Amino acid sequence: MRPFLKWAGNKYRLMRQLKAILPEAKRLIEPFAGSAAVFLNTDYQHYLLAETNYDLISLYQYVQHEGLSFIEYCQAFFNTANNNSSCYYDLREQFNSTQDLRRKAALFLYLNRHGYNGLCRYNTNGGYNVPFGQHLKPYFPYKEMLTFHHKAQNAVFQHADFQTTLQLAIPGDVVYCDPPYLPLTATANFTQYSAKGFSWAEQEILAKQAEQLTNRGIPIIISNHDHPLIPELYKAARIIRFPVARSISRNGKQRKPVMEVLAIF
Ligand X SMILES: C[S@@+](CC[C@H](N)C(=O)[O-])C[C@H]1O[C@@H](n2cnc3c(N)ncnc32)[C@H](O)[C@@H]1O
H-state helical runs in the chain: 15-21, 37-40, 54-66, 68-75, 85-97, 101-114, 142-151, 162-166, 200-215, 230-233
Give the span between the Cα atoms of 221 and 210, in whole angstroms: 8
Q: Does 162 bind ligand X (CB under 6 A)?
A: yes
DSSP structural state of residue 131: P
Nearer to ligand X, 52 or 112 (CB): 52
Order of strands, sheet of 238-245, starting from the edge strand that comes earlier in the sequence: 155-159, 46-51, 27-30, 173-177, 220-225, 257-264, 238-245
Q: Does 246 bind ligand X (CB under 6 A)?
A: no
How big, in percent rounded to 5, are the helix, strand and coil portions of the chain? 40, 20, 40
Rounded least distance, CB 118 to ligand X, Å: 11
Q: Does 112 bind ligand X (CB under 6 A)?
A: no
Q: Does 7 bind ligand X (CB under 6 A)?
A: yes
Rounded least distance, CB 248 to ligand X, Å: 11
Give the span between the Cα atoms of 156 and 128, in whole angstroms: 25
Q: Does 203 bind ligand X (CB under 6 A)?
A: no
Q: Does 220 bind ligand X (CB under 6 A)?
A: no
Nearer to ligand X, 25 or 87 (CB): 25
Q: Does 34 bind ligand X (CB under 6 A)?
A: yes
Q: Does 118 bind ligand X (CB under 6 A)?
A: no
Rounded least distance, CB 85 to ligand X, Å: 26
Nearer to ligand X, 5 or 83 (CB): 5
List residues near ligand X by CB under 6 A: 7, 9-11, 31-32, 34-35, 37-38, 51-53, 161-162, 178-180, 193-194, 198
